[in-house]
Structure 1
Amino acid sequence: MNLDLNQKTDYKETLSVTKIGKKYGIFGQKVNLFLSELGWIEKDKGGWVSTNAGKQNGAIQMVAKNSKPYVVWRKDLLDNKHFKTLINEAKGNVEDSLVEEKQLNESDDFRKKYPPTYRTPDGHRVRSRAEVMIDDFLYKNKIVHAYERKLNIDEEMYCDFYIPEKKLYIEYWGLEENEKYLDRKKTKLELYAKYNFNLIEINNNDVENLDEKLASKLRKHNINVD
């Protein structure tokens, strides 16, 4: 094994995705998908490379003898709240997941008012039936995605869905008859514009014909769907 950028590290103090997977009873490939959902790694050159966010959360870039890149992790990844939330959801540990959710978002009244009580086929826990439909559409079309990822900005803000491969965010506006919700929507849109993030917006009319509407919006960002 060779370290990227000739960086040295103590292998005894790092974890491969295989070791992480064994700890939780899941395959290493699934661990990589979770880390990709968080935006910490992305596919490249037949392997996985760390993003800047990944490096901030303990990623160490490696290159195998066959020149394929891969990532190992500092042991403190196992204590990371975002990672633990995804693991808990995947394993069906609902109570643990909700505890992590509360710790992560205790300052957000809206998120506390509408807890993630709906479970999707790929293991995410979401806040509405419409979000189940959106998540299921992405899952069936094999689009790697994260649910409610915290944006890497100064302000406290979570997206509804995130597609790391395209750095693309999806927002579902489901309560537009609520004045406070509209204020929240306005604030989020201002932040998306401020940081020039790619955004897909879904409303209740879109949900009625989601397969066609979401597919069309995704294609505009060069994401092919069946």
Structure 2
Amino acid sequence: MFPPSGLPLPGEILLITDELLAPADFLLHRQVATHLKASKVSKCVLISISEDIGRWKAVAQRSNINSTQYLDSGSLSFIDAMPIASTAIDGESSVPLKELFQKISATLIQLSSESGIDLLVVLDDIASLEWVGIPAADVVRFARALCALCRKLKASLVLRHHVTTPGEPDDIFKHLFQLCTYHLDVFPLSTGRSGTVSGQVALHCGPATLAPAHRLVPRSAAVHYRLSDTGSVFFDRGTGSGVL
């Protein structure tokens, strides 16, 4: 099964990177929907930096995911991060992203206090913080603090980072990779998008993993995927209909 089910586990950190020609929106929606369907004690905190809840619902509907099933669910807490982070952009705070972290921390601590809770945290997308003017060093500190908090609370954490220059890892990616347990690497075909293949996905082990519990997939043997009105389909290269 790809991507592996149960990824990430409580206390683990999954880094998802994507590129302009192969956005990983479908993986984020799949993560949230799968997690909330798993049990009655499943909760999710969705921290969106560049998109509001309306955009998330629109993407969910196009992906044939019933948005009312999870985005309007009482099991999901949505944090619109940009209005909060704007204080750092405007220079109104001496500690950039402090207010945002405090908001997230208060939400996670409150939810984790519930007995037997299974908590997933999704941050989409951390690259936008630097794009709007927050120094990379402050973005990295924020990421480290969030990772430490999630590990402490035994929450699963998914971080999405946009790759702007393929093949040239930026400083934020280098730091995020050092923090992650696994890295899902989403990228387009070298020949561009086709009618039968939307992109490729590889799974790498992060430095935080001592013994991988899932089958790793290098870029050289990346799994292909195809997006449709009914969701996403994964298949090994050369095995899909119409693929040589």
TM-score normalised to structure 2 length? 0.26
